[in-house]
Amino acid sequence: MGTEAGRIDTGPEWLLQALLDSPAPAPRVSEIGQVAEVADGIAIVTGLERALSDELLRFESGVQGVVLDLEPGRMGVALLGASDGVAVGEGVMRTRRVVSTRVGPGLLGRVVGPLGDARDGKGAIKAEAVRPVEAEAPKILERKAITRPLATGITAIDAAVPIGLGQRQLVIGDRQTGKTSVAVDAILNQKSTDVICIYCAIGQRGDAVAKVIGAIRDGGMMPRTIIMSAGDEDAAGLAYVAPYAAMTMAEYFAGQGRDVLVVLDDLTHHARSYRELSLLLRRPPGREAFPGDIFYIHARLLERAGQFSDAVGGGSITVLPVVETQAENLSAYIPTNLISITDGQIYLSPRLVRKNQFPAVDLGVSVSRVGGKAQSKAFRSVAGNLRVTLSQFEELEDFARFGTRLDDATRARLTRGAAVRASLRQPERDPIPVVEQLAVLVAAMGGQLDGLGEHDTFAVMAAIRKAAAGELGDLAQQIAQGENLDEDARERMGEIARQARDTVVGHDGANA
């Protein structure tokens, strides 16, 4: 810019000269490919020689896709939207980014899609950041031992199949055995804690997801819960991405030292979505027509859970993956894969469903490989022999069906076993606090529920819970601090049980 007699030269000649003297802009390379084929959920793209695996592509129609297959001269792309709008011959552009999702506190209380987009009609989501859905699992030195319990509010689980914060506990069973109910009840029980919950619905019907949303909202947990839905009407690519996106959202909170509970409902649909994409992309099928890397896609997902060290935030991610079996076949391909990846399983048995035993947790098959180390001492002292008591009872029950004449001791064991099994029954959407669970278990193991009919049993249990909630507040604090139940505490629980039984049986006129 020149000056003459204090005048600033801003004429067109100066502007032209300034543009000529400025450095030339760097050339921008733009790669545009074309759609060669379109199928249900996938597209074959040509002309993008430099595209990378897992890269996000954008189609002219606005649909996005992720590169799954790289072949000479062509690539297989899983669409993250409806394939109806994608036409053969339309342009495809690279984004030089991987599939990412929104994370942050702004997602709490919202219903979102796998990419963090709002699906509840409440406006745009204010995200803290955008992070890739794929991430490397924390290393061994970045993890700590699992030592803190995660209370589910379900007596059969907390007493016999305990879960620790940072554990991967599989929920497995046939259709209509209550798998989703167990997971939702575990979420509702976190109302008295500061655990953040993420419910990821994969391939579920819209009405089923709506019921879960209603239950969580009615239970008061919606402000600390993220609902992610990739329904059966969504593209298979979105169902494939959904659980990884849920883990990315959980990792954001875990990095801030928070405890997160993630429910993946369910990985059977996830595996089927991936099988569908793989078969359409002409990948070689293996056992049950699943591709060869089906184990890896679940292993790299669930390995991102755990209890993390202070160096990486000190938070934890607890995962409850759900998987569906057919005709109680636990040896099917996907169930055996997930059983080997996770730290235990909660098996819901159709046999118990037919006996009207809800939740239908089969303690003979269910196991927790690490949660026992996190279980409170009070539970271990009360329910230490619960599994043995029930297994012996069921064996005797089967034997008694032959009409064999039984002695008094065997009849007493059958009566006690039936009472203990009845004490584990509870309705859904009714998580029970720890001190109330222990009071009911002490009553059942001590014989206070022996010989009662079904109606009286539930009435006595309700009376015990009510009395324990009002009179055992000090014990609840001791249990929360990891202390054991001393003899005095057991006597107080036993006295509450005796009073409850006397009140109910005397009122109903039943005979003990």
- Catalytic positions are 369
Q: How far apart are the first and last CA of the chain?
A: 104
**Residues paired with residue 208 on neighbouring β-strands, in sequence order:** none
Question: What residues have CB less than 8 Å from 224, skipping those under 6 apart?
Answer: 108, 109, 190, 194, 195, 196, 197
Q: Which residue has the tokens 């997971």?
A: 183
3 state DSSP class of 264:
strand
Whole-angstrom distance, CA of residue 123 vs CA of residue 133: 23
Helix (H, G, I), strand (E, B) or coil at 45: strand
Bridge partners, 91 (sequence order): 34
Name the residue among 309, 364, 314, 366 with its Cα closest to residue 343.
366
Rounded CA separation 474/435 (Å): 10
Q: Please tell me the distance from the alpha carbon of residue 110 to that of residue 114, in angstroms, as a whole number.
A: 12
Q: Is the peptide bond before 486 cis (omega within 30 degrees of 0)?
A: no
Q: Give the integer Cα–Cα distance in Å for 193 and 186.
A: 12
CA distances in angstroms from 195 to 149, 156, 250, 344, 403, listed in the order given = 12, 21, 11, 21, 51
Rounded to whole angstroms, how far apart are CA atoms 50 and 441?
64
How far apart are the C-alpha atoms of 185 and 216, rounded to whole Å? 9
Q: Rounded to an integer, what distance in angstroms lies between the CA atom of residue 201 and that of residue 183?
A: 12
Q: Mutual orientation of helices 294-302 and 333-341 as an angle, nearest 10°?
A: 30
Type of residue numbered 306: G
Number of H helices, E strands in the chain: 16, 19
Burial classification of residue 25, based on how many CB atoms lie within 10 Å of its CB (0-12 exposed, 13-18 middle, 19 or more buried): exposed
| Nearest CA among 471, 453, 470 for reference residue 509 | 453
- Residue found by looking up tokens 């995962």 in the block: 319
- Torsion 191-427-157-209 (CA) sign: negative
- Spatial contact of 166 and 318, defined as CB atoms under 8 Å apart: yes
The whole-angstrom separation of Cα 216 and Cα 187 is 8
Measured on CA atoms in the order 88, 93, 98, 100, is the torsion positive or negative?
Answer: negative
